[in-house]
Structure 1
Amino acid sequence: MSSKIDQILRTVLTRAVPKDAERRRILKLSQQVIESVSSAARRFSLNTEVSLEGSVAKDTWISGEADIDVFLKVDSRLDSSVFKTMCLKVAKEALRNYKPRTRFSDHPYVEAFIGKCRVDVVPCYNVDKGMWRSATDRTPYHTQYVKQHLNQELRNEVRLLKRFMKGTGTYGAEIRTGGFSGMLCEILILHYKSLLNTLKSATEWRDGMVIDIENHYKGDIEEVRDLFDQPLIVIDPVDKARNVAAAVRHERLWEFVSASRAFLKKPSLNFFYPGGQRKISSSGIRRRIQKRETSIVGIKVSKINVPIDVFWGQIYKAERCLANLLRGKGFSVIRTCSFSDEDDLNIIILELDEKRLPKTVKQFGPPVERRIESERFLLTHLKSTDTVSGPWIEKDRWVVLKFRRYTDVEKVLKDYLSDGGRNIGIPVTISKAIKKEGYEILVNYQIGKYLYNKKFAEFMSRYLSGRPTWMNT
């Protein structure tokens, strides 16, 4: 078994470690971006120190997947409003030939693509360690820490871990994914010393797992868990008040744990580089939907004009609001998810046992021994026009049979989205888009209307499969 794993890891490293020519090209491009940002800063009279940070600076990037992170470090006394506006102007000016766009993480930065390489220009304050004014102030200290502690062997182990997480769909700390960040991968390798040790340890992880490589909390696990209410807690080596794993959602954590177990039991290159999906056809997806005999409901909304990082947080919130609405009306919600091509096709998927409910519902009241509550229950239901039968006593409780207000899922959605859904908690920007541009309710085969979009077809195929790709190995 170990020889097979060794062979797989050698193959992955052959593909993941950048060759000399690619390194030179990426480093040259990085230097060009640094010079362009520095020049733009001078033109705007912004006193700044420009530096290369992130995986390229730390040499933990994967071949063919380099992201260049250039930071503008400005005086810590600079006003926050000037900090944001002036730094963004500088960044956009520096990348003006590459269609720059503003993105958001904890605060705004500018992204552009030069060829296939993503370039981020990120503002931060030039502060002493621990005197943070913005979330990105820690990044230069992260870069310094990792460069000091990782040797070449460990850098390649980081590449293996990143590639394993990318292959299993657990990599990426952005809201859309809710997975493991690059920095988190680096800390895991610093702690466990190799990919295999990380995977073996992950098979035994429990909820509230704590890793503190700098021993900030002197082994006081309970104190750490009191401070951080997250399923995985990895203390930032340069800031004891921060959990590097805070972005990791429960689903991504346990998918990684399960994938680790599966790989160690049955090693395969597919965990790192999943095979391509079989050919997807619209008619095939329609047949699969029909075969399920459930009700798959899609709510399609038009383009939402907010930064994409903000958008994902809002569409996930809208998804939760709609699921809670339907549960509250008596529908059994099996599963929910959201799709976006990050352009003009956004669809929230809600899968239900049934799209129609019986006209009546049995409603339980208080125990008879509770006099005041019983009187209120009787007063409410005895002469109510929607009471079908009762109230009667069943064992020790009052019970009544009522007509439902809603029996059809489409009627519920239409009524509650008529004002944009603000009354059920739909975020403002999505609510405004619904009111201005409208929305569309799609049930079962009607979802096929948008399967012309290749990304959506792939999404629906994965959704209907309902299992991670590594389970097919």
Structure 2
Amino acid sequence: MDYLEDLLSEQIPTSEETEKLGEISSAIIREINDICRANNINASCTEVGSVSKNTNLKSSDIDIFITFDKAYPVDYIEKKGLEIGHRVLKNGTEKYAEHPYVSGYVKGIKVDIVPAFKINNGEKIVSTVDRTPLHTLYVNSNTNEAMIHDIRLLKVFMKRINVYGSEIARSGFSGYLCELLIIHFKNFDRLMKHMANLRGKLIVPEDAEDKFAEPVIIIDPVDPSRNAGAAVSEENLSRLKLASKIYISGRLDILNHTPSVNRERGTHIRVFVIKKPDIIDDIIYPQAVRLKNRIWDILHNNGFMPVASEIYMGNDIEILIECKLEKLPGTKVHMGPPVESNESIRFIDMWNGNPRLMRGPYILKNRVYVDVRTEQRDMEGIIRKELRNSDIGKNLNEFRDEIKIINGEDADLEVVRKFFSKYLFN
């Protein structure tokens, strides 16, 4: 526990940072409320997110929501939200989630100004962000000082085991989930004991109906029809289970273990590098996964025998795939139809006399086979040919022909470091 408390002490905001955040937030809220009053806009401003709940760690952002009356149409709140955001954040830039919003910096602190609709408990939402102010109210109404400490401790623990963050590339536990877990289990130790002994899904509350397909089911108290844990992957749930066992056993030294790395694997590693468009990661990452899966399928279908993969997104998208073969043999076995099939004679006629035929036709068990000459044997040529007409995502398609293919065994690339540093919680 001292180890985690030491980590937490390094990440709790100082009193100076807390005061600065409060001053910036209050000033922005006053300015936005003044703008709304002066322009007869039926809207109010509120702070949401971890800073508003005092559950934040160091270097947190400020999230300000402008909540508009539900009588306004969506296009009105989007337009006014951007206008007000730009007026308050002079050098702000527009970003896009469900609604466009303005993001910028005030005195070195990142600030997001987001439009939403004002709803009360039990009312139907117009957009998913409408729940967020209610989340803030719920957490503030159901936590005390000890629970806030344990929420921060849980965030530090989840960061240490690499399961913190709900963005698609992470598929982990959001700050709100950390808050809900401590509220439900009352403290950090009780949560750890539950997780260390958990079999199967994590369901909160435990008597909730198992009506969702996801491995983590945490019913949102603000909207009981919603699974707040839907983004968490089975792999990250498994990491939390194992880390909880490690915590309960007192073996936190395992978290700091540095595994040895042997790069002499007897395999062939290739890295496929493609330009990353200037679009938020939650949109691009699924397309990167799609590209990885397409390359994997090409390699598998052509006999290169892929065995492992990794993705890294920085300035570019880097996709690593490890294969057993880097060049195909000159001959490959081609399976024909069962001998009982009416297509068997046609298959024999098709291959008899074919210049690519190396052996056969012959019968193996109940099928006809031929051995044929491999037309293209090198990995790069096959990948480029088959990707040419592949749809790899609307934002990546234009860069499809610019993919660089790099021998990855000794390449100085982040995806290679990520691949070889793979350990329980990396």
TM-score (norm 1): 0.80
Match of 1:351 in 2: 322
Q: Which runs of 5+ in 1 are unaligned?
A: 279-284
Q: Distance in 2 between matches of 1:105 and 1:144?
A: 23
1:429 maps to 2:395: yes
Match of 1:315 in 2: 288
| Structure-to-structure mapping, 1:197-216, within 5 angstroms | 197-212=190-205
Match of 2:423 in 1: 467
Match of 2:28 in 1: 33
Match of 1:123 in 2: 115
Q: After superposition, give the CA deviation of every residue in 1:271-328 in whole Å (9 maximum; x if it has no partner).
A: 5xx69x99xxxxxx9xx65x33322212222341323432223222222222222222
Asked if the contact 1:208–1:231 (Cα under 8 Å) also holds between the matched residues in 2, the reply is yes
Q: Distance in 2 between matches of 1:95 and 1:172?
A: 26
Richer in helix (by share) = 1
Q: Distance in 2 between matches of 1:75 and 1:122?
A: 14
Q: Which amino acid aligns with 1:318?
A: L
Overall identity of the aligned pairs, in %: 27
Alignment CA distance shift 1:352-1:131 (3 Å):
same
Q: Which amino acid aligns with 1:393?
A: I
Asked if the contact 2:4–2:157 (Cα under 8 Å) also holds between the matched residues in 1, the reply is no
Match of 1:232 in 2: 216
Q: Which moved more, 1:44-53 or 1:405-414?
A: 44-53
Q: Which amino acid aligns with 2:160?
A: G
Alignment CA distance shift 1:347-1:17 (3 Å):
closer
Q: Distance in 2 between matches of 1:94 and 1:192?
A: 40
Q: Distance in 2 between matches of 1:186 and 1:376?
A: 66
Match 2:64 to one of 49, 66, 70: 70
Cα drift, residue 52 of structure 1: 0.5
Match of 1:404 in 2: 374
Q: Distance in 2 between matches of 1:463 and 1:413?
A: 21
Alignment CA distance shift 1:365-1:197 (3 Å):
farther
| Structure-to-structure mapping, 1:320-399, within 5 angstroms | 320-341=293-314, 343=315, 345-368=316-339, 370-372=340-342, 374-375=344-345, 377-378=347-348, 380-382=350-352, 384-399=354-369
| Structure-to-structure mapping, 1:23-422, within 5 angstroms | 23-39=18-34, 46-62=41-57, 64-97=58-91, 100-115=92-107, 117-128=109-120, 129-212=122-205, 219-221=208-210, 224=211, 228-268=212-252, 271=255, 291-341=264-314, 343=315, 345-368=316-339, 370-372=340-342, 374-375=344-345, 377-378=347-348, 380-382=350-352, 384-417=354-387, 419=388
Alignment CA distance shift 1:44-1:462 (3 Å):
farther
Q: Distance in 1 between matches of 2:359 and 2:26?
A: 78
Q: After superposition, give the CA deviation of every residue in 1:146-201 in whole Å (9 maximum; x if it has no partner).
A: 11111111111111111111111110001221111111111111222222222222
Q: Which amino acid aligns with 2:266?
A: E
Match of 1:282 in 2: none
Q: Distance in 2 between matches of 1:115 and 1:251?
A: 39
Q: Distance in 2 between matches of 1:119 and 1:229?
A: 35
Q: Distance in 2 between matches of 1:428 and 1:65?
A: 34
Q: After superposition, give the CA deviation of every residue in 1:316-368 in whole Å (9 maximum; x if it has no partner).
A: 22222222222222222222222222x4x332222222221222222334443
Q: Which amino acid aligns with 2:395?
A: T
Q: Which amino acid aligns with 2:183?
A: L
Q: Which amino acid aligns with 1:120?
A: D
- Aligned length in residues: 424
Q: Distance in 2 between matches of 1:230 and 1:383?
A: 55
Q: Which moved more, 1:146-155 or 1:384-393?
A: 384-393
Q: Which amino acid aligns with 1:359?
A: G
SS state at 1:118 partner: strand
Match 1:443 to one of 396, 407, 418: 407
Q: Distance in 1 between matches of 2:301 and 2:32?
A: 53
Q: Distance in 2 between matches of 1:149 and 1:392?
A: 74
